Chain A
């Protein structure tokens, strides 16, 4: 399967701490994207990193990509209770009309 796998499945931290989520995949990719899903809502795109990039920042988000290890990490700094959500990585493959393959997600809980 080309599906990405997130680790951990669930993460609980205190407000103000950093949260790190990891994603591993199996075959070469065009890009890797991270999405957020609040409970009972649709997914929202957070950030995209291309296969030739190693690190990308967006506000409190930092994404790294290691294509040699076929892995990515999402770091949320100075977490807030409002960051509580599920986070999914999604991998994009060359020539795929399906566009993206989603992992099973990490449920992040930020305690106030």
Chain B
């Protein structure tokens, strides 16, 4: 069966520090991968998605970036965090292709920028 792992679960970082959140998927190949952000009590905002190694699409211009160095690894990074980057970050995967595949989520990473 497929599993998705995301870490760290909780992170407190000072303003201006770098960020690296990592996500790996097991039990499938060529997945689509996603990073979402969720502000407290709000809906999901899609940040990045990837349909293959090295292929990253950005949905929201900001100081975050994403990379996919391996088929089942997705990394969210920032060189300098802002207070507004605080939130709940969710990694997710779906089958390849287009048009409304079910998305499977990790357990999320809480980021607090202080």
User: Chain A: residues with CB nearer than 8 A to chain B?
Assistant: 3, 29-31, 33, 40-45, 48, 88, 90-100, 102-105, 107
Contacts and interface: CB of A to CB of B under 8 A. Distances in A.
A92 B44 contact: no
A45 B107 contact: no
Interface of B: 32, 34, 41-44, 46, 49, 51, 57, 59, 88, 90, 92, 94, 98-108, 110
A55 B25 CA distance: 32
Contacts, number: 74
Contact of B100 (A41, A42, A96, A103): A96
A92 B107 contact: no
24 contacts: A30-B99, A40-B88, A41-B107, A42-B90, A42-B92, A42-B107, A42-B108, A45-B103, A90-B103, A91-B100, A94-B100, A96-B99, A96-B100, A97-B32, A97-B49, A97-B98, A98-B46, A98-B49, A98-B59, A99-B49, A99-B99, A100-B103, A105-B43, A107-B41
Shortest 9 CB-CB contacts between residues of A and residues of B: A92-B100, A42-B105, A104-B43, A30-B100, A102-B44, A31-B100, A43-B105, A42-B107, A30-B99
Contacts of B99: 30, 92-96, 99
A99 B98 contact: yes
A83 B47 CA distance: 29
B106 A42 contact: yes
Secondary structure dominating the interface of A: loop
A43 B46 CA distance: 14
A45 B101 contact: no
A92 B101 contact: yes
